[in-house]
Amino acid sequence: MALQKCKITKYTYGKPFFTDAVTEKIAQGEGAPAYVTEIENGFTYQMGDSDVVYGLGENVRGINKRGWHYISNNTDDPNHREDKVSLYGTHNFIIVDGKERFGLFIDYPGKLSFDIGYTERNTLTITAEEMDLDLYILEGESLNDIVKGLRQMIGRSYIAPKWAFGYGQSRWSYMTADEVREVVKKHRENHIPLDSVYLDIDYMERYKDFTINKETFPDFADFVQEMKEENIHLVPIIDAGVKIEEGYDVYEEGVEKGYFCKEADGSYFTGAVWPGLVHFPDMLNPDARKWFGHKYKILMDQGIDGFWNDMNEPAIFYSAKRIKKAMETAKAVDSDNMDMVHFDEFREIVSTLSNNPEDYKSFYHNVDGKGTMVCHDKVHNLFGYNMTRAAGETFEELEPEKRVLMYSRSSYPGMHRYGGIWQGDNLSWWSHLKLNMSMMPSLNMIGFLYTGADLGGFGADTTEDLMLRWLEFGIFTPLMRNHSALGTRRQEAYQFGAMEAMKKIIGLRYGLLPYIYSEYMKSALRGEMYMKPLGFDYENDAFAAKVEDQLLLGDSIMVAPVYEQNAEGRYVYLPETMKMVKFRSLTERTEEILPAGHHYVPIALDEVVIFIRPNHILPLSKGGENVADTDFTDLELLGYVTEEASYEWYDDDGYGRDYENPANYTTFTVKADKTVEVKGQKKLKVQVNL
């Protein structure tokens, strides 16, 4: 591949399953791979004392993954505690940065374990369940070059429609159309900006994919249209399991065509999720995938232009076989006075009902549609990817001119071309705000740019201060959605005494949109990261490499959110002199130049702080109550310019796919005396504010 600054070499072991993660042809290496030593079923590397290991996408712990072990095994686990080893996605990419600098991407859809100094402080060990994998070694001069090389190899990241960069409000569930109307009304009458409302599982009829509950959501197409007139996009959830129910067309068609996953004896595997018993569409079978993908059209025909794919690890509450056995065991141990041994037996069988590895071993995929059967367990981590690919391929086919919002819970590289991800069922915990921050750059590296976490936290009750602080970070993540679980405290911005402050913070997102959208688009089109750890741009600054709680956002700014309860500020490390801008709202702000080094920065509960890099600018809008209402032609250039700053601004219509059009680019060059030169084809009103 013609990559100037990153050399990629491929090493193939055994017979890898073709995942379609890699889109470029990469030359096979000769002999043993560089850097790593081959061991039984894997590789090992001796790290230096202070090497940093970046990567692994969606996982617990920090940006530097050292000191823990992780297993790529897509899992529906809502307890994102520090001692967990697997979450919903598989992102087998790491960069070792220290005495040597290289990237490793392992294309392997089964269980892969990364022991990064857990067993032995300086030993990195990667082991696969079976040695059928492709190892890619990436060598680049800089961390950014390595990432760019990887991204060229795996193809362009998904691009969401512009409205999906606005604020979204979600809840499990808004139960009726009237409840949705009420949520929209409350936002609009309080002037809290809003672009989308999410429909969780209860919009469906008995949790059946691609159906609408006609009693609670009557005249759905009209309702979708009514919301569109308010500039609100409704985004329904789609689950992986298809309910087993006579007369339900998706179920009946799937059975008739043989498109569901089968057991060894040829019968359909039966699991249970929200609707009760389900079959799982064989997302790895190209024909079944196309069939399932085309079902999204049922909702698109009613005006829907965005979806979220869920439970696609796939999550299995129980399998039909297993629960039957559990019931029998329960009966066998049943007594008026269960002793410890029997109680343990009972407890064990109940606690291992969900997502049981034996169940994943008991069904198969018809991977070529021609009868080549592969056990699910061996390709487990590809299921969510291919569900999302089913939808993405349909969108490209049916809507070649229009972008459709799509993001998924489960993922694998390759899926980044079809959709984004949200970071799953977090909790309303301060540590999960921090985790949201750590996951951003790790996911960005491997191409998942359109991502964010459930703001305010999904499970458990949130608090007003956590909601505020989380919004203060959430305004910077491409996906900005407030979502919460059934039974938890309501957390729409208007539920809080601090509504005015929340409104201003959300409003600031719309002010920042010209910059956020431009940086997103450039990172997608150029294979770069939208949010980066400091070490990526300040490579010779050993301290910067260890900063875990500040991120560079695009070219011009650094963010340093507050993530501790009752904190009235925080320590911030500046790798160089920067201009701090403190916002109470888009228009209420103060500025201060801070020299390089460590600072304690007071940040009140209703304040957002950004740090502008020297000789950098960023374009702001005058705000809006939704994306359509935000004027991208009336810009303020906010900056820190001692000599000259130049900013390449990307903007387009936000809906089409004409990404390469040179008219999408405008260059602003601002001098310290505030003069500005604008080069581009757009008619803009530009005001400079240094």
In the bound state, the residue with its beta carbon closest to ligand GLC is 172
Q: State the nearest-atom distance from the C-beta of 221 to ligand GLC, in Å.
A: 23
Q: State the nearest-atom distance from the C-beta of 315 to ligand GLC, in Å.
A: 8
389-418 footprint of ligand GLC as x/- string (CB under 6 A): --------------------x---------
Which of 195, 200 has the CB closer to ligand GLC? 200
Q: State the nearest-atom distance from the C-beta of 200 to ligand GLC, in Å.
A: 5
Which of 254, 457 has the CB closer to ligand GLC? 457
Residue among 377, 425, 625, 651 that touches ligand GLC (CB under 6 A): 425
Angle between helices 464-474 and 499-526 (to 10 degrees): 30
Order of strands across the sheet that contains 616-620: 616-620, 634-640, 685-689
Q: How far is CA 572 from the centre of its chain?
A: 26
Q: State the nearest-atom distance from the C-beta of 350 to ligand GLC, in Å.
A: 20
Using CB under 6 A as the binding rule, whether residue 200 contacts ligand GLC is answered as yes
Instruction: State which amino acid sits at residue 590.
Output: T
Which of 180, 562 has the CB closer to ligand GLC? 180
Query: Under rule CB under 6 A, how many of the chain's residues touch ligand GLC?
Result: 9
CA–CA separation, 668 and 474 (whole Å): 27
Instruction: State which amino acid sits at residue 189.
Output: E
Which of 58, 310 has the CB closer to ligand GLC? 310
Q: State the nearest-atom distance from the C-beta of 390 to ligand GLC, in Å.
A: 19
Site for ligand GLC, residues 161 to 180, rule: CB under 6 A: 172
Which of 241, 527 has the CB closer to ligand GLC? 241
Using CB under 6 A as the binding rule, whether residue 455 contacts ligand GLC is answered as no
Report the half-sphere exposure of 64 (CA within 13 A, side-chain side): 20
Q: State the nearest-atom distance from the C-beta of 239 to ligand GLC, in Å.
A: 7
Q: How far apart are the first and last CA of the chain?
A: 43
Q: State the nearest-atom distance from the C-beta of 463 to ligand GLC, in Å.
A: 20
CB atoms within 10 A of CB 38: 14
Q: State the nearest-atom distance from the C-beta of 312 to ligand GLC, in Å.
A: 10
Which of 407, 473 has the CB closer to ligand GLC? 407
Which of 243, 483 has the CB closer to ligand GLC? 483
Phi, psi of 513, rounded to the nearest 5 degrees:
-55, -45
CB atoms within 10 A of CB 263: 14
Q: State the nearest-atom distance from the C-beta of 437 to ligand GLC, in Å.
A: 20
CA–CA separation, 422 and 444 (whole Å): 13
Instruction: State which amino acid sits at residue 321.
Output: K
Nearest-Å Rg of the Cα atoms of the chain is 25
Nearest CA to 140 out of 461, 645, 402, 527 is that of 527
Which of 75, 621 has the CB closer to ligand GLC? 75
Phi, psi of 123, rounded to the nearest 5 degrees:
-105, 125
Q: State the nearest-atom distance from the C-beta of 310 to ligand GLC, in Å.
A: 5
Residue among 21, 192, 201, 443 that touches ligand GLC (CB under 6 A): 201
Nearest CA to 176 out of 147, 219, 141 is that of 219
Q: Cis before residue 314, ω within 30 degrees of 0?
A: yes
Burial class (CB in 10 A: 0-12, 13-18, 19+), 371: exposed
Which of 152, 426 has the CB closer to ligand GLC? 426
Site for ligand GLC, residues 471 to 490, rule: CB under 6 A: 483
Which of 204, 232 has the CB closer to ligand GLC? 204
Residue among 53, 104, 235, 237 that touches ligand GLC (CB under 6 A): 237
Site for ligand GLC, residues 296 to 355, rule: CB under 6 A: 310
619 contacts 637 by C-beta, under 8 angstroms: yes
Map tokens 């581009």 to a residue.
Answer: 680
Which of 173, 366 has the CB closer to ligand GLC? 173
DSSP category for residue 275: T
List the structure tokens of 410. 């489960």
Q: State the nearest-atom distance from the C-beta of 243 to ligand GLC, in Å.
A: 14
Order of strands across the sheet that contains 112-116: 37-39, 42-46, 123-128, 112-116, 68-72
List the structure tokens of 381. 């981590």
Q: Which residues bind ligand GLC (CB under 6 A)?
A: 172, 200-201, 237, 310, 409, 424-425, 483
